[in-house]
Amino acid sequence: MTRPKLLLDCDPGHDDAIAMLCAARYGDLVGITTVSGNAPLDRTTTNALLVSQIAEIDVEVHSGSERPLMADPVHAHHVHGPSGLDGPELPPLQRAVASRDAVEFLLDRAADDVWLVPTGPLTNIALALRRDPALLTRFAGITLMGGSVTGGNATPVAEFNIWADPEAAAEVFATGNPLTMIGLDLTHQVRMGHQEAVRLREADTATARMVADILDFYAASTPGARAAGAAAMHDPCAVLQVTHPELFESIRLPVAVETRGRYTRGMTVVDSRVPRSSSDRADGPFNDQVQVARHAEAARVIDLIIEAAVVPIP
Ligand code: BDR
Ligand code: CA
């Protein structure tokens, strides 16, 4: 199996932590950058370091933006707890950040064989784009977790990563560069919870125990996950779409990010009108190069996530 090179920009975060394991297991993880999102930057960075330490992932972690481009920082403590990774018992931190300049690292490591996978608010990416407007064309591709076609989680219409920094997301989408959008319509198809935690505990390794604790906490922390008995694996889906594209199906649709609406700020506006003629084409900042993921082979994706938690990182 060829392991694509991945650069993960994340805000761990329960599902980001699992995404890290998938990236290291199935990809060649060239680096991790962190951003303020699920928790403040110092916590998301500490969590990224702790997860890499527990899973023995040999990777540099570069911390990035402490706040969104314009908006006030918002966090998802109600989902991930004040630490951003409540649930597992975490050991004392023994690792340190490689730098506090994630933007420089992104600019430096962009290459045509590296996939960029953002799984948090897009602040670092937007800041890097301001320094190099061609940045996204220098990567093999970009697959991001964010947005939705049919409804939100942070607001009735906005998904958390886009809503937490809509201006950054708008700048990323408005580049017109090809993007793959792993939104809520897709990630809600891949759910894990107590049932998988039981399977993981049989493995009895530090990483498997951490993931089992993550699943137990995460599946109980939000009303949606509680109702379904399992939590959506948002961020691992973004990584696995790159490493196992055959398990995902997407459709190319124009997408723009709403930054101004009184009720719709942070919404990804997806033009799914069919047929769409030149007269009713979406215009303005719509990016018509977005592959919107719409179906995942959930059972196989879940098996891959469990394997990533159980089998040691190569
Ligand atoms: C996204 O928001 C965060 O809470 C998760 O880590 C995921 O990236 C889902 O809306
Ligand atoms: Ca995330």
Encode pLDDT of 13-40 as tens digits: 999 999 999 999 999 999 999 999 999 9
- pLDDT on residue 190: 98
- C-alpha span between 89 and 183 (Å, rounded): 30
Indicate if ligand 1 lies below 6 Å from the C-beta of 118.
no
Indicate if ligand 1 lies below 6 Å from the C-beta of 43.
no
- pLDDT on residue 18: 98
- pLDDT on residue 280: 58
State pTM to two decimals. Answer: 0.97
- Assess whether pLDDT exceeds 70 at residue 284: no
Q: Work out the percent of the chain whose per-residue pLDDT is above 70.
A: 96
H helices within 206-284, ranges in order? Answer: 206-221, 223-228, 234-243
Domain range summary for the chain, segments of one domain joined by +: 5-310
- C-alpha span between 211 and 303 (Å, rounded): 14
Task: Check if 234 is active-site.
Answer: yes
DSSP label of 85 = S
Contact 313, 57 (CB under 8 A): yes
- Assess whether pLDDT exceeds 80 at residue 144: yes
Helix crossing, 206-221 with 194-201: angle to 10°?
A: 170
Cα(229) to ligand 1 centroid in Å equals: 18
Cα(280) to ligand 2 centroid in Å equals: 34
Encode pLDDT of 83-141 as tens digits: 999 999 999 999 999 999 999 999 999 999 999 999 999 999 999 999 999 999 999 99
- pLDDT on residue 279: 56
Residue range 48-69: average pLDDT? 98
Please return the burial class of 224, using the count of CB atoms within 10 Å of its CB with bins 0-12, 13-18 and 19+.
middle
Indicate if ligand 1 lies below 6 Å from the C-beta of 13.
yes
Cis previous bond, 13, omega within 30: yes
Contact 31, 138 (CB under 8 A): no
Domain 5-310 fold: Inosine-uridine Nucleoside N-ribohydrolase; Chain A (3.90.245)
